[in-house]
Amino acid sequence: MAMVVASSNIIHFLPASSDPPYELLRTHPSLALLSKCKSINHFKQIHSQFIKFGLHNTQFALSKLVEFCAVSPYGSLSYALSIFNSIHNPNHVIYNMMIRGYSLSSSPNLAINCYSGMLFIGLEPNSYTFPFLLKSCTKLSTANAGKQVHGQVFKFGLENDVYVHTSLINMYAQHGNLDDARMVFDKSNFRDAVSFTALITGYISRGYVDNARELFDTIPVRDVVSWNAMISGYAQIGQFDKALSLFQEMKKAKVTPDVSTLLSVLSSCAHTGGIETGNWVRSWIEEHGHASNLRLGNAMIDMYAKCGDLSMARNLFDGIQEKDLVSWNVMIGGYTHASNFRDALEIFRLMQINNVAPNDVTFLNVIPACAHLGTLDLGKWIHACIDKHYHDFPNETLWTSLINMYAKCGNIEAAKQVFSGMETKSLASWNVMISGLAMHGDASRAIELFSQMTKEGFRPDEITYVGVLSACCHGGLVNLGREFFISMMKDYNISPQLQHYGCMIDLLGKAGLFDEAMALIEQMEMEPDGAIWGSILGACRIHKNLELGEYAFKNLREVEPDNPGAYVLLSNIYAGFGKWDDVARIRTFLNDKGMKKVPGSTSIEVDSIVHEFLVSDRTHPRSDEIYRMLDEVDRLLEMAGHVPDTSEVYYDVDEEWKEDVLCQHSEKLAIAFGLISTKPGTTLRIVKNLRVCGNCHSATKMISKIFNREIIARDRNRFHHFKDGYCSCRDYW
């Protein structure tokens, strides 16, 4: 018997041949400290207490030390091994704990070595040994070790143990040995829900969903784990409708869902827009007291955001007291997904205020918002943060997103630098760089990059050719555009899609080649969309082709009946021919229908703050200064010989008012603000939501020369680089 000595109300255990009574050990104060341990340093202090009171001489206490180090997230497997090696005769429990620890580690093969050591000293494995040993085998590259362990299972007569049996099925299934998994399943004397689920999961992981469903339907009694395996399986392979349908079956069967069920269902709702089911899940969560579950809260935010209910998503987000990084990411991603880019950046700002460190997912959601809003300063800050903390991050998508951001924010040189600095480039990287150059009107460099890409062994795809054809369109390169369009089909067997046809038809239309453009429309395998008819209508305005313009308008109206822009374009064509009755008819129709042209707006970023202006806008705090600068700009333009062209402004506005309206276009207000807010020589970058008008284009060219500023303007279609009185588009846009 062990000798127990009491001193100062603390029990000391002296060396003995066997452990003291279990109840004495279990209630020892030092053992109680383990349940509260949150760090390895704290654990070492507890370990010293074990030694002080002689607990290190008991197998039970040692097993608890090994368990903490091997299994706890606060432990250390290497420390567990040092304790294990100090034990003279480890028992089953200690060996099993070490095997379990290895099964959770990045070195699962060491579990096999530990098992061999257990056999070597004469200890026979039990039903607790094999599940963790087989879990380790599951992590290995092949099932060879698992098959040898299977032989050991037979040797020690444990093939009918429920946990061992399920672990064998799971091991074979995860390695893709589904025939072996099914054989173990079929030869068993019993089949519980767990073993069914293990095989179902195996079938799903290998894409055999029909086999999984067939097996699922044969389960005598389905528990929640079985339902989860099938529902999550459908969700994992993208069959979200089937996942939701099966969830409805689960509800009818009156099986209570758990957190895993609800996470799969919410994910499926997010992908299908199934907000009604999502509402039911939210009500169930609140009713059953799971509202504080952070994983469910984050999943609900994601679901509502992707289903379009951003208000509810934001309410749920604001209601979370202890947000984690996922909470912030799903809210930022939700806003970005819904094109609410300003709100996305606002959440990112709050995230910074709350000292939450972003990760690559955060950046992948924030960078597109910077790109769309043209917030170059914030984009630069993010780039610097990535360089500092994530420079070696193996995520090509992150660097590709930065290239896209710089290109869309008007800094094509920075985009080139990021692209050149990528050690390994993906096809997406090449595509984004080619498209960026095309947007900036650098057709020759875009085409040169395409040639370099193919020489390096990359095979262009549909997106590549959209970029190349877009470059030809912006550069007016008709012959090259034809060649690329033919090569796409002939050399790479890529069938033209709407975007490819759209680029070619736009290219031909701008060149005035209407017969060829219409012939291309006739040979399309799909119906032309609004963008195609809109490009024809726009080209007819440029080349004053009334008959074709009316035909294009008729087709555009059928495709997009509520598009006021189509009516405005036709009205401008009529105005160009002096057909004022037709102009009046269109104006009356628009007024009667309550259809209004999308208001032009222009934004400019100054000192990391985005300022947005509408036509004749006087809401800005510095409005008086802006209009004084605008008057100065107009005075200098007049002195330089600039005469506004009022021909495209509606006929029922008198000439003097027409000129005033033109002078107060949103882009001129943004430029005026930029001139008073930045140092001389600073490049101004503006973003407009519509196509830049001819008057503002000609005025901006002269402003760039008068004030010695480079002005980079992004409109709905492309970039214009104004410098020294010239524009990069060469007046072709």
pLDDT, position 647 = 58
pLDDT, position 645 = 67
pLDDT, position 633 = 93
What token pair was written down for 731? 């007046």
pLDDT, position 223 = 86
Q: What H or E segment, with its residue span, contains residue 649?
A: none
Q: What angle do CA 600, 605, 611 make, to 5 degrees?
A: 50
- Tens of pLDDT, residue by residue over 337-385, are 999 999 999 999 999 999 999 988 999 999 999 999 989 999 999 999 8
pLDDT, position 442 = 92
In three-state form (DSSP H/G/I as H, E/B as E, the rest C), the secondary structure along 58-114 is: CHHHHHHHHHHHHHCCCCCHHHHHHHHHHCCCCCHHHHHHHHHHHHHCCCCHHHHHH
What Cα–Cα distance (Å) separates residue 557 from each residue in 539, 550, 568? 17, 10, 12
pLDDT, position 17 = 42
Nearest to 603, CA basis, from 614, 616, 591 = 614
pLDDT, position 13 = 43
Phi, psi of 605 (to 5 degrees): -100, 125
pLDDT, position 591 = 84
> How far is it, in rounded angstroms, from Cα 282 to Cα 265?
11
**Which residues, in sequence order, are CB contacts of 215 under 8 Å at separation 6+?**
196, 199, 200, 203
CA dihedral 20, 22, 27, 30 (to 10 degrees): 60
- Tens of pLDDT, residue by residue over 160-190, are 888 898 889 889 888 888 888 888 888 876 6
pLDDT, position 290 = 86
Q: What is the residue type of 294?
A: L
Q: Name the stretches of the chain with pLDDT < 50.
A: 1-17, 650-662
pLDDT, position 658 = 40
User: Residue 511's CB: how many other CB atoms inside 10 A?
Assistant: 18
Cα-Cα end-to-end distance for the chain:
96
> How far is it, in rounded angstroms, from Cα 468 to Cα 481?
8
pTM equals 0.74
Evaluate whether 354 touches 384 at the Cβ level (below 8 Å): no
> How far is it, in rounded angstroms, from Cα 450 to Cα 501?
19
